[in-house]
Chains A and B, each alone.
Chain A
Amino acid sequence: QKEVEQDPGPLSVPEGAIVSLNCTYSNSAFQYFMWYRQYSRKGPELLMYTYSSGNKEDGRFTAQVDKSSKYISLFIRDSQPSDSATYLCASHQGTSYDKVIFGPGTSLSVIP
């Protein structure tokens, strides 16, 4: 079993829709959770970085962590064509040189 899993998609939504991207993880020691966005033929870039359970909001993006069910979500409100990318979730335990585990990514297309 992979430590971090995602549905690879592709997910296609109309512009303006609310998008929900999800991850599950298996290691209960994970404390920190990240979402990276990766445009086609580019390197990943950090989008959101959260600690433990709860919600974190940044503009149109909300990251949600439910540690009881080992479930991570990223919500995108008022989605735009520029949001079309692959979204990778990642987790680690929080020690200084801990291994960061990445999910395989979900491909999102926002159609104008």
Chain B
Amino acid sequence: NAGVTQTPKFQVLKTGQSMTLQCAQDMNHEYMSWYRQDPGMGLRLIHYSVGAGITDQGEVPNGYNVSRSTTEDFPLRLLSAAPSQTSVYFCASSYRRSTDTQYFGPGTRLTVL
């Protein structure tokens, strides 16, 4: 049981490049979410999904896109990277609701130059 996995662990992008952060979970959880963590700011919700085919925006969605074609996978796409998107990104999953215990992945450290 791997839990929540994220790839890559580290990434450096140039301004304007696009990329996809991968997230997968093997716990058959319905709820999945993406957060970014910046110093002094806490975890901020980017996008979330309550099941396959259903996604919605969180607190800071601009510049990011998501889709959920399967229960297991929830990729996060950066459309045109900006230095303000330099952050640590965490994917999390929970059984059914955002308020169930959330299980976090190990994170992706992204730097945008």
Task: Assess the B41–A100 pair: CB atoms within 8 A.
Answer: no
Chain A residues contacting B102 (CB-CB under 8 Å) are 46, 100
Known: A43-B104, A92-B99. A103 touches B50 (CB 8 A): no
B104 x A45 contact (CB < 8 A):
yes
Interchain CA distance A97-B106 in the complex, whole Å: 24
Docked Cα-Cα span, A54 to B39, in Å, equals 30
With A96-B99, A97-B97, A100-B99 known to touch, is A43 a contact of B40 (CB < 8 Å)?
A: no
Q: Given the complex of chains A and B, what is the CA–CA distance between A49 and B102 in angstroms? A: 11
1/0 contact string of A72-112 vs chain B (CB within 8 Å): 00000000000000001000101111111111110000000
Residue from the list A4, A32, A44, A105 in contact with B99, Cβ < 8 A: A32
- Which residues in B have their C-beta under 8 angstroms from that of A49? 101
Among A8, A32, A105, chain B packs the most CB atoms within 10 A around the CB of A105
Total residues of chain B contacting the partner, CB 8 A: 24
Size bracket, chain A contacts: 20 to 34
B98 pairs with A100, CB closer than 8 A = yes
Q: Bound state CA distance, A49 and B99, in angstroms?
A: 10
For the residues of A in contact with B, the DSSP-based class is loop
Verify B106–A42 contact, CB threshold 8 A.
Answer: yes
Bound CA–CA A32/B102 (angstroms) = 14
Complex: A49 Cα to B101 Cα, angstroms: 9
Interface residues of A (CB under 8 A from B): 2, 4, 8, 32, 41-46, 49, 88, 92, 94-105
20 example contacts (A-B, Cβ-Cβ < 8 A) are as follows A2-B42, A4-B42, A8-B40, A32-B99, A42-B107, A43-B4, A43-B90, A43-B104, A43-B106, A44-B90, A45-B103, A46-B102, A88-B42, A92-B99, A96-B98, A97-B97, A97-B98, A99-B45, A100-B98, A101-B42
